């Protein structure tokens, strides 16, 4: 399948209702409004195709950009490629669910995510913390430095309330993910989440969200999901 046929198929799958939902979360034109699950049959036909992924991502069309993440070759992308994708990820559904997800399947994931977290830029920070969520929820515990993750928990405790809004959400998810999916620091994550308490995340034209990682971890503990790992990160 080439660029034109993929764009035609995506357009045919677009739904007005889905488009409205995406736009209420920050997406803007151009977009078709394709449910992510509906992309699977096209992805099976295309498989991994980095050149096509680059063409689709460059359109600025949200659905095409999302599909680009599904068919990209994470290990074939360089740090400069990820930075370039990040530069045009204009809202959190792209930064956290396309760029961060793709990065999490590469060998340079932690290195790039660390730089983004340290950038002070809202969506880069959000993508960096989100990347660690995808990593911790999928890779074996021994692949991470326990002291590094412990230091990151301390950083969340110190800075979450003063961080940009989207970064707050990703940092809260990081706390919860360490608590559920990274056994060596389960107790530290629970204690840190308890000390932080409720975090307010302000949202444009919407009511604030109140984030509580401690409660979320407890719910998962009750469901017996400690140590949970995803088999796949990308759909």
- Give residue limits of the domains in the chain: 1-72
Which position has the token pair 């078709």? 32
Cis peptide before 152 (omega within 30 of 0): no
Angle (nearest 5°) at CA 89 between 83 and 93: 130
The CA-CA-CA angle for residues 53, 59, 61, to 5°, reads 100
pLDDT in tens, 50-97: 999 999 999 999 999 999 999 999 999 999 999 999 999 999 999 999
Residue 232's pLDDT is 81
pLDDT, mean of residues 137-146: 97
> What is the rounded average pLDDT of the residues 31-51?
97
Provide the mean pLDDT of the chain. Answer: 97
Please report the pLDDT score of residue 71 as a whole number: 98
pLDDT of residue 206: 87
Is residue 235's pLDDT more than 70?
no
Q: Please, where are the H alpha helices in 75-230?
A: 79-87, 92-94, 100-104, 109-118, 122-136, 146-159, 165-181, 186-196, 213-222
Q: What is the pTM of this model?
A: 0.95
Q: Which pLDDT score, from 0 to 100, does residue 137 have?
A: 96
Measure the CA dihedral 174/175/177/183, to 10°.
Answer: 130
How far apart CA 56 and CA 152 sit, in angstroms, is 34
Rounded to an integer, the average pLDDT of 101-119 is 98
103: region left, alpha or beta (phi > 0 left; psi from -120 to 50 alpha): alpha
């Amino acid at each position: 399948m080439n660029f034109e046929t993929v764009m035609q198929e995506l357009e045919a799958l677009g739904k007005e209702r889905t488009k409205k939902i995406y736009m209420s979360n920050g997406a803007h034109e151009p977009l078709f409004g394709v449910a992510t699950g509906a992309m699977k049959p096209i992805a099976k036909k295309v498989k991994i195709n980095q050149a096509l992924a680059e063409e689709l991502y460059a359109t600025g069309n949200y659905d095409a950009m999302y599909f680009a993440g599904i068919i990209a070759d994470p290990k074939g992308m360089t740090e400069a490629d990820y930075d370039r994708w990040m530069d045009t990820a204009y809202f959190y559904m792209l930064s956290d669910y396309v760029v961060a997800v793709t990065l999490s399947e590469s060998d340079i994931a932690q290195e790039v995510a660390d730089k983004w977290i340290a950038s002070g830029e809202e969506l880069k920070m959000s993508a960096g913390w989100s990347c660690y969520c995808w990593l911790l929820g999928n890779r074996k515990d021994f692949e991470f430095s326990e002291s590094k993750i412990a230091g990151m928990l301390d950083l969340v405790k110190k800075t979450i309330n003063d961080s940009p809004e989207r970064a707050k959400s990703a940092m809260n998810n990081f706390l919860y993910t360490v608590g559920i999916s990274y056994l060596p620091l389960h107790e530290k994550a629970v204690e840190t989440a308890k000390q932080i308490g409720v975090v307010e995340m302000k949202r444009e034209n919407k009511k604030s969200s109140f984030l509580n990682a401690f409660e979320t971890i407890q719910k998962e503990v009750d469901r017996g999901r400690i140590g949970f790992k995803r088999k796949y990160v990308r759909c």
